[in-house]
Amino acid sequence: MYIYNVKKENRQKSIIIELGIQHIVPPLIVDRPSGVDGYLFVLFYHSVLIENQEGRKLYPPKTFFIWPHKQYQYYGSSEHQWNHSWFLCSAKIAKPFLDKAGIKSMRPYSITDPSTFEWYLEVMRRELITQVEPDKNILTNIVSNAVIELGRMIHPKHQKQIVPENFLKLRNFIEQNYDKKPTLLDLAEQVHFSVPHMCRLFKSYFGTSPMDYLIQTRLRHANRLLSNHNLRIGEIALSVGYSDIYQFSHVFKKYFGVSPQNMRTKIS
């Protein structure tokens, strides 16, 4: 399981203070009487105990929860380790976006597709890590888009276009088989469409082509693996589907703006 945390202050008043992607925690309960400075967005992959206005309850996997600025926090499990992805955002930035999307804090929501939330965290992380001075406007836009996507998942009946189940499964297929070099024909066969039809629909639903999504998935996994210094760059390239380390380095630099080796230096 990949874990990555980012903490970076911005001289223009931090927008994203911290974030974590698939952060595994040993059996414990987080108990913060004074909360934190900002809005905390958390997606839990395991069942956890959460306290809100209704008391303490055990919530199922894929529960999404938001704690507002300085709100008492109680969550976790004392019985088993648990995994979560999260980010902390200033209240001034977060609250207007949440109000517009109709998302309430201190209320549990069920999220069926964690990969969407993770994708925005990856984009946040890239801006924080690759830039000496992260751009306030870029980070604000990322938060805005992330909240909009969360609103779509939480209130799907209010959306004009709902992604069909077969295309959600196709996206999951890409995420689970990114290292096996699936072709466009392989992907089209998953939804029983011609290649052009599959490509057109995929882009209309997800805003990118299936091959670009495959590349992005490979590079996101590679980026996480760079924090493991026991792995060589060539080994990481092979593990995400690139047999040619030079091609891997070229694509990685084009996507992140820095080479894999320089990225490793930044996150070490």
The span from the CA of 145 to the CA of 123, in Å, is 11
Number of domains, the chain: 2
Q: What type of residue sits at position 175?
A: E
215, 245: one domain: yes
Q: Please tell me what DSSP assigns to residue 31.
A: E
Whether 247 and 218 have beta carbons less than 8 Å apart is answered as no
From the number of C-beta atoms within 10 Å of its C-beta (0-12, 13-18, 19+), residue 69 rates as middle
64: domain CATH number? Answer: 2.60.120.280
219: domain CATH number? Answer: 1.10.10.60
Among the candidates 95, 123, 158, a domain finishes at 158
Tell me what the mean pLDDT of segment 142-168 comes to. Answer: 80
Distance of alpha carbon 207 from the chain centroid: 16
Instruction: List pLDDT tens digits, range 27-75.
Output: 999 999 999 999 999 999 999 999 998 899 999 999 999 999 999 999 9
Whether 213 and 173 have beta carbons less than 8 Å apart is answered as no
Instruction: List pLDDT tens digits, range 7-18.
Output: 444 444 567 778
Dihedral angle sign, alpha carbons of residues 219, 181, 83, 72: positive
Q: Please tell me what DSSP assigns to residue 24.
A: E
Q: In the predicted model, is pLDDT for residue 204 greater than 50?
A: yes
Quote the domain boundaries for residue 248.
165-267
147, 194: one domain: no
223, 113: one domain: no
Instruction: List pLDDT tens digits, range 218-264.
Output: 998 898 888 888 899 999 999 999 999 999 999 998 888 889 998 88
154, 174: one domain: no
The span from the CA of 164 to the CA of 151, in Å, is 18
What does the pLDDT read at residue 13? 53
